[in-house]
């Protein structure tokens, strides 16, 4: 049997597909939110449905593409923007029939090319070795104890100017991940081979799922977009097994991506950095109760002078009519804990008009807004800019932010 390709769209039921027990088990183990409903009257045929996890999964000769309902182009745009708001326009344009693998390889190649345009990053690293010539400093104690008076080799310690540094190791590990993806495109295969050759001699990370954050300075800042995208590929990489079948690939959580994108775009529109507009896990801790038993972690917060001046939450779902009660309750808790009068719920899609929910008993306002992720990048960023104007108007901060 040759290679098989199955394309799923998030939250949509597939046509009937034949899977072995091990293929089904490996897919279910690899992808959160994936379901496989048995087809009536068949022992090995299923209808698959995926949640908000998208990407590519390979099980044996089967390749499953999990595509977002907004399409591949908006997904690649959000990945590019999250990695580098100032340079997202450098992302490669997608061919109309591009697969997930081809789109991902093209985006990563462009970011890596921009990072290494003037050559690989090098740095000095302290090395110890036994050489036939003296280099650096002779380690006399080791020479006497290990060589017992022999002249050669010489135990030395020296500083080596090497490309085998953390930033390149992250890129190398991401290339290794991409090399394991099947692609029908000869251009994509050659692109990955060139990246592998570029990083030849660089060590991969010991554990690709644990990506250390480099210390960013003016000397390596040009690497940051590529390293950020590489970290997404690595932390989203998967290895799962069921029976004799192993699953491999790259997955992206659309809930987390939407949150990260919106936060980055709002920062850019407001002209503030990560310290004033932190990620949810990095923001100052708040609790709903006085005994600190109910911790709160809003998606969006803006801080000035140690005080929270805005709070909001992102929802990667469609809202067409009434706003879900649970979402309103959640934001109301955030407003109460942070001592604010108004906040914002931002949905990823929906045709409902913007609305303000006035909570009379609490004297709070929940502003409900939507952005259309399926729109072109410029239109989407303009919509986020409009949100930023509302955020700024409802927040009492000095003009310098």
* Percentage above 70 pLDDT, the chain: 88
Give the pLDDT band (50/70/90) at residue 232.
very high
SS3 annotation, the chain = CCCEEEEEECCCCCCCEECCHHHHHHHHHHCCCCEEEECCCCCCEEEEECCCEEEEEEECCEEEEEECCCCHHHHHHHHHHHHCHHHHHHCCCCCCCCCHHHHHHHHHHHHHHHHCCCCCCCEEEEEEEEECCCCCEECHHHHHHHHCCCCCCEEEEEEEEECCCHHHHHHHHHHHHHHCCCCCCHHHHHHHHHHHHHCCCCCCCCCCCCCCCCCCCCCCHHHHHHHHHHHHHHHCEEEEEECCEEEEEEEEEHHHHHHHHHHHHHHHHHCCCCCCCCCHHHCCCEECCCCCCCEECCCEEEEECCEEEEEEEEEEEECCCCCCHHHHHHHHHHHHHHCCCEEEEEEEECCCCCEEEEECCCCEEEEEEECCCCCCHHHHHHHHHHHHHHHHHCCCCCCCC
All structural domains of the chain, each given as residue ranges with its CATH number in brackets, are: 1-69+236-253 (no CATH), 70-122+163-234 (no CATH), 123-162 (no CATH), 271-393 (3.40.1350)
Q: Minimum mean pLDDT among 18-22, 29-33, 167-171, 350-354: which range?
A: 350-354
- Tell me the range of 30-34, 235-239, 341-345 where mean pLDDT is highest: 341-345
pLDDT in tens, 50-60: 999 999 999 98
Check whether 131 has a pLDDT greater than 70: no
Q: Minimum mean pLDDT among 10-19, 86-95, 290-299: which range?
A: 86-95
Check whether 142 has a pLDDT greater than 90: no
Average pLDDT of every residue of the chain: 88
């Amino acid at each position: 049997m040759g290679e098989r390709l199955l394309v799923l769209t998030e939250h949509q039921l597939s046509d009937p597909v034949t899977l072995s027990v091990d293929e089904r088990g490996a897919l279910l183990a690899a992808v959160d939110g994936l379901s496989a409903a048995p087809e009536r009257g068949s022992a090995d045929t299923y209808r698959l449905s995926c949640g908000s996890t998208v990407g590519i999964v390979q099980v044996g000769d089967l390749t499953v593409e999990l595509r977002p309902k907004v399409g591949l182009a908006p997904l690649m745009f959000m990945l590019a923007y999250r990695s580098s708001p100032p340079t997202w326009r450098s992302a490669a344009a997608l061919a109309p029939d591009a697969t997930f693998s081809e789109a991902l390889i093209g985006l990563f190649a462009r970011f890596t090319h921009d990072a290494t345009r003037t050559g690989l990053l090098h740095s000095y690293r302290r090395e110890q070795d036994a050489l036939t010539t003296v280099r650096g400093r002779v380690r006399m104690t080791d020479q006497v104890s290990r060589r017992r008076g022999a002249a050669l080799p010489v135990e030395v310690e020296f500083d080596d100017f090497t490309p085998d540094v953390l930033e390149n190791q992250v890129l190398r590990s991401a290339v290794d991940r991409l090399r394991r993806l099947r692609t029908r495109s000869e251009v994509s295969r050659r692109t990955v081979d060139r990246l592998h050759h570029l990083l030849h001699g660089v060590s991969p990370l010991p554990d690709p799922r644990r990506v250390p954050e480099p210390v960013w300075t003016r000397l390596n800042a040009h690497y940051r977009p590529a390293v950020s995208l590489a970290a997404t590929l690595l932390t989203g990489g998967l290895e799962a097994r069921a029976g004799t079948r192993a699953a491999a690939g790259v997955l992206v959580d659309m809930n987390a991506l939407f949150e990260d994108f919106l936060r980055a775009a709002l920062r850019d529109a407001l002209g503030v950095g990560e310290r004033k507009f932190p990620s949810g896990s990095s923001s100052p801790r708040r609790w709903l109760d006085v005994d600190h038993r109910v911790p709160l972690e809003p998606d969006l917060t803006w801080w000035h002078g140690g005080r929270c001046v805005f709070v909001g939450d992102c929802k990667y779902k469609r809202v067409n009519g009434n706003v879900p009660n649970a979402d309103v309750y959640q934001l109301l808790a955030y407003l109460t804990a942070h001592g604010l009068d108004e906040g914002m719920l931002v949905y990823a899609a929906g045709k409902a008009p913007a609305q303000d929910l006035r909570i009379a008993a609490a004297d709070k306002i929940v502003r409900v807004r939507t952005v259309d992720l399926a729109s072109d990048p410029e239109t989407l960023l303009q919509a986020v800019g409009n949100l930023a104007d509302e955020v700024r108007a409802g927040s009492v901060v000095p003009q310098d932010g």
